Amino acid sequence: MSRICFIAGRRRHKANSVSHANNRTRKWQLPNLRNKRIFDEQTGEWVCLRVSARGIKTIMKKGLRQALADVKE
């Protein structure tokens, strides 16, 4: 499974690890993904999503249906 947030679209980023001697090596910065069960009030069912912390905040603010509608646009 890829490391992409289903709601916010967050992906991994490339960055540098910088040592004390200023040596630079490449590393990946991964998003803060969580497997989250969210209750859908319209259908009365639980939905399992892999979302980031930012995606969870978006769902709490807008609601599940509106957040999913914004993704499809």
Q: Per the domain annotation, does 50 fall within a domain? A: yes
Domain count, the chain: 1
Flag whether pLDDT at 31 surpasses 70: yes
Q: For residue 54, what is the domain's CATH number?
A: 2.30.170.40
- Residue 38 domain-assigned (yes or no): yes
The predicted pLDDT at position 73 comes to 67
Residue 20 CA, chain-centre distance (Å), reads: 32
Higher local confidence (pLDDT), 2 or 66: 66
Q: Structure pTM?
A: 0.79
Q: Is residue 1 part of a domain?
A: no
Partner residues linked to 28 by β-bridges: 14
6: in domain = no
Q: Classify residue 52 as exposed, middle or buried by CB count within 10 Å of its CB (0-12, 13-18, 19+).
A: buried
> Residue 62: is it exposed, middle or buried by C-beta count within 10 angstroms (0-12/13-18/19+)?
middle
